Amino acid sequence: MSETEQEFTETLTIPPPEEDLHHPMEQYLRMERLPHIWCSTCGIGTIITAFISGLQKSELDREKVAVVSGIGCSGRAAGYLRLDSFHSTHGRAIPFATGLALGNPDLKVAVISGDGDLVAIGGNHLIHAARRNINMTIVCINNFNYAMTGGQAGPTTPLEANASTAPYGCYEFPFNLPYLAESSGAVYVARWTALHIRRLTNAIAEALLKPGFSFIEVICPCTTLYARRNRLGDGLDLMRFYHDNAIIRHGADTREVDIGFQDRIIVGKFIDKEKPTFLEKRDQYLKSKLGEQFIPYKGPNDGH
Amino acid sequence: MSYWRVPLDIQEIEIPHGDLHIIVERCKGCGFCEEYCPKDVLEMSTDFNRKGYHYPNILKQGACVNCNLCEMICPEFAIFCLEGEPRHPDPGEVIQGGENREG
Amino acid sequence: MKADPIGVATGSYYIDGDHACAEGAIAAGCRFLAGYPITPSTEVAERVAERFPKVGGMFIQMEDELASMAAVVGASWTGTKSMTVTSGPGFSLMMENLGLGAMMETPCVVVNVQRGGPSTGLPTLTGQADMMQARWGSHGDYEIIALSPNSPQECFDLTITAFNLSEQWRVPVLFMMDECVGHMTEKVVIPEPDEIEVLPRKYYQGDKESYRPFKFNGAADLAPMIKAGDGYFIHITGLTHDERGYPIINAEAQGKNVSHLVDKIRNNVEKISIFEEDCIDDADVVVVSYGISSRVALKAVEDARAKGIKVGTLRLVTVWPFPEGRIQQLAGKVKSFVVPEINMGQIVLEVERAAKGKAKAILVPHAGGWVHDPDDILAAIEEGAA
Ligand SMILES: Cc1ncc(C[n+]2csc(CCOP(=O)(O)OP(=O)(O)O)c2C)c(N)n1
Ligand code: SF4
Ligand code: SF4
Ligand code: SF4
Ligand SMILES: [Mg+2]
């Protein structure tokens, strides 16, 4: 042990910030609503910090960014972000966001919601928004279960994982989300875990700047339900698991990135391609058919 | 920053230094910050905050390099780090380095 | 405010109710329609799909009615007047996010061209059996406004009224057509733009800090809105919330929020209600009807008068909120109400409730698929006069 290290045997208290010092993310948070509802060692809060950093990094005008969530633990995300934020119904975040994105083409709309919300009850909306290439960014928080309602099995629960409605383990085949998003037409597809905060931050910034439908799956610890039922320890143990089992493979064939129970997790940026957005395609097409008769949609029409 | 030998220009190298702050009552004791600090600066306290969670303390005074990882990984917005005065490294320090554990 | 001329196809037309409804919406300033095809309402969407690109509107055919309704609520928060159109099973699918629209106090218009149900029922034939669903279809307590046109001309005129009411009361307005009116072709006159009164959305102007998207006082002066993208950083949720829009999960907050949703309509029924009366003053019997049934009833009323029966009519133009007070007044004077409707008894229950036993309420039911035989209504009038 070197001399320098010996000096560190006594721990010091970290000072609280002086009054005029604030956590750098506070201006992006609805501080009056904190503390948030998420359990200790849940990863959703970490994903929110990555979202805020990604948004900052994108340098988008935050007044022109709206966020929409559905219902679930993950679906509470919109409620804590100091942006125009909408908390819609279970599964309908994407169509609600479609209304916002088409209603005001100057907005960049981000949807932050859970795997159950976006892929089970909202699955049809997901694939159609991707097919149309609506200009929006999806952050799909995948904790492998329906957490909010008590840890039931869902469309991403891996085979054999235990869930409250799969008490003997899950025997349904799960979705492979990047493959689903890619084959539906998404122009940007990535997967990270809550541990990969810097890469996730970069992905969020990239996706927000990408015109069209971008999809980021974030593997996230659900401590209280998924981890507990499957005896996986707490969120920190899951983070350690991600550390040991995540394999970064940019450009991987999305057909090969499916996830098994406590199996390796392939992460990375899988898809980043160019395609006209719904609005670009619409305007260009209608213009070609209608010529001067075509009047592009310009947003709210009553002089405001 | 880790080197296989002490660089000749050691006096010119400046190690960034961070001023850590914590809002103790926001912490829910997940231990993410302690686990993933690349410089092992933090250690969970034996004390509890009002919510009944252990919160991080500084184990290695002056070792924080303001990488902001703790701030980013904290799910509670409880800890943050601001840029402090940079300092010059000790010769012993630069050849040990720290491992970056963010996967 | 007068209608934007670009959306007003001034002239005299021979068109059906569905097409007239589409023109009414465009004249009213609607520039967003999300829908999913279903008979007998599809023509509304078809006409809008053709017209919108030429008036700067945005039409999108969604993957289903769940999505359509959700998109409409979202679009309305950008400040664009928004609508959707459906029938039968599609109306059922819209109920979830109709509740969202009510909870978020979002102006929008939902057109339901009614067909026979339940389930797939009679896709191409008429019905009026969604009237109670219009009132109670989404779970929980809320109030709604619903209109029922009885001619293609009214499909034009009242669609504009529907948009105006939705802006004034910050509530989804249901436009309850029926297949007969939707597919009936008649003369429709679209007036000059400066003859069309359009209510613009009331926007907040003031400092951002003190903005509240809701005002829970159950009164007519509703909180002004702002648009997403205005920099107010609003939060709008389907959860029970406070005036800031923040979720609060307890009985007290629920009391404030839900009472407001209900009271803003219930306390203002007189301001909202539209109905037409004829020969009421000396009537022994009043025929209460709406939509296509009100036109069929006219024949029965004529025949009854020819037989010397003192019969009057009350036509509901707004069916919801129900003009309970007016029925109550009349109940003290008339012997009975006759209610012909193309269902097995829905609005008759409201009439009966409002009459409080002081006058009889006689249902003339019809299961759907066609309109009443006027003689059946006549028989009920005779029974009511006896
Ligand atoms: C129409 C409807 N059905 C069911 C529910 C109940 N419900 C609320 S959240 C939820 C599951 C959420 O799961 P997920 O999206 O994965 O979010 P998580 O809680 O796991 O973050 C369900 C089924 C609901 N709110 N609405
Ligand atoms: S139940 Fe699971 S997902 Fe929900 S807050 Fe707790 S740990 Fe997170
Ligand atoms: S800023 Fe980096 S080095 Fe400093 S305590 Fe946090 S994680 Fe450790
Ligand atoms: S990451 Fe945040 S919540 Fe977790 S122990 Fe550290 S300070 Fe506390
Ligand atoms: Mg989930």
Q: Can you give the CATH number for the domain in which C305 is found?
A: 3.40.50.920
Residue C304, CB-side half-sphere exposure with 13 Å CA sphere: 30
* Cα C339 to Cα C351: distance, rounded to the nearest angstrom: 8
Whether residue A84 and residue C63 make contact (CB cut-off 8 A), yes or no, is no
Boundary residue ending a domain (C172, C195, C218): C195
Q: Is C178 domain-assigned?
A: yes
Neighbouring C-alpha atoms within 13 Å toward the C-beta of C359: 30
Which residues contact residue A61 at a Cβ distance below 8 angstroms, ignoring those fewer than 6 apart? none
Q: What percent of chain A has pLDDT over 90?
A: 91
**A143 close to ligand 2 (CB < 6 Angstrom):** yes
| Contacts with C, A 222-281, CB within 8 Å | none
Residue C273 predicted with pLDDT over 80? yes
- Residue A223 CA to chain centroid, in angstroms? 18
- pLDDT at residue A2 in the model: 45
| Cβ neighbourhood burial of A57 (10 Å; 0-12, 13-18, 19+) | middle
Domain limits of chain B?
Answer: 1-15+89-103, 18-85
DSSP string, A43-79: SHHHHHHHHHHHHHHHT--GGGEEEEE-SSSGGGHHH
End residue of a domain, out of C195, C218, C233: C195
B34: Cβ below 6 Å to ligand 3? Answer: no
Which two structure tokens, joined as six digits, stand for A72?
């679930």
| Three-state DSSP class for residue B82 | strand
Residue C217 domain flag: no
* DSSP code at position A19: T
Phi, psi of A289 (to 5 degrees): -90, -40
Which of A81, A60, A58 shows the shortest CA–CA distance to A205?
A: A58
Radius of gyration of chain B (CA): 15
- Judged on CB neighbours under 10 Å (0-12, 13-18, 19+), C203 is middle
Ligand 1 nearest atom to the CA of residue A142, by list position: 16
**Count of alpha carbons within 13 angstroms of residue B37, beta-carbon side:** 26
CB contact under 8 A, A239 and B36: yes
Summarised one tens digit per residue, pLDDT across range A184-224 is 999 999 999 999 999 999 999 999 999 999 999 999 999 99
Q: Over 60: is that where the pLDDT of C64 sits? A: yes
Return the pLDDT at C153: 98
Q: Are strands A213-219 and A188-193 parallel, antiparallel or unpaired?
A: parallel
Q: Residue C313 domain-assigned?
A: yes
* Residue C140 falls inside a structural domain: yes
pLDDT in tens, C282-322: 999 999 999 999 999 999 999 999 999 999 999 999 999 99
Which of chain B's residues have a Cβ under 8 Å away from the Cβ of A2? 92
In chain B, which residues have their Cβ closer than 8 Å to the Cβ of A203? none
Classify domain B18-85 at the CATH topology level: Alpha-Beta Plaits (3.30.70)
pLDDT at B97 over 80: no
Which residues neighbour A140 within 8 Å (Cβ) at sequence distance 6 or greater? A113, A114, A115, A118, A119, A177, A215, A216, A217, A218
Looking at the structure of chain C, the number of domains it has is 2
CATH 3.40.50.200 is held by the domain A33-274? no
Q: What is the mean pLDDT of chain C?
A: 97
Instruction: Say yes or no: C283 and C152 in one domain.
Output: no
Asked if residue C284 belongs to a domain, the reply is: yes
**Which whole-number Å values give the CA distances from A9 to A160, B29, B56, in the listed order?**
45, 21, 15
- Provide Rg for chain C, Cα atoms: 21
**A93-138 pLDDT tens trace:** 999 999 999 999 999 999 999 999 999 999 999 999 999 999 999 9
**In this model, does residue B103 exceed pLDDT 60?**
no
Domain with C45 in it = 5-195
Q: Show which of C164, C195, C226 is a domain's final residue.
A: C195
Partner-chain contact B30 A41, CB within 8 Å = yes
- State which amino acid sits at residue C176: M
- How far is residue A26 from each of residues A33, A51, A73, measured CA to CA in Å? 11, 13, 21
Q: pTM above 0.90?
A: yes
Please choose, from the candidates A72, A94, A255, the residue with its C-alpha nearest in 3D space to the C-alpha of residue A175.
A255
The per-residue pLDDT for C144 is: 98
Q: State yes or no: pLDDT of C238 exceeds 80.
A: yes
Check B21 against A49: CB less than 8 A apart.
no
Q: Is A156 in the pocket of ligand 2 (CB under 6 A)?
A: no
- The reply to whether C64 falls in a domain is yes
Share of chain C above pLDDT 90, in %: 99
Q: How far apart are CA A48 and CA C283, in angstroms?
A: 68
Residue C369 lies in a domain: yes
Q: What is the pLDDT of residue B2?
A: 53
What's the confidence (pLDDT) of residue B15?
A: 83
CB A128 within 8 Å of CB A181: no
Backbone angles phi, psi at B25, to 5 degrees: -75, -15
Cα distance between residue C301 and residue C304, in whole Å: 5
pLDDT reported for residue B4: 64
Is C169 found in the same domain as C31? yes
Q: Which ipTM value was assigned to this complex?
A: 0.97
* Rounded distance between C-alpha atoms, residue C26 and residue B37, angstroms: 59
**Kind and range of the H or E run holding A290:** helix A278-290
Q: Number of C-alpha atoms within 13 angstroms, CB side, residue C345?
A: 6
Which residue of chain C is at minimal alpha-carbon distance from A86? C236
The answer to whether residues C165 and C41 belong to one domain is: yes
pLDDT in tens, B44-83: 999 999 999 999 999 988 899 999 999 999 999 999 999 9
Please report whether residue C177 resides in a domain: yes
> Per the structure block, which two tokens stand in for A154?
């869902």
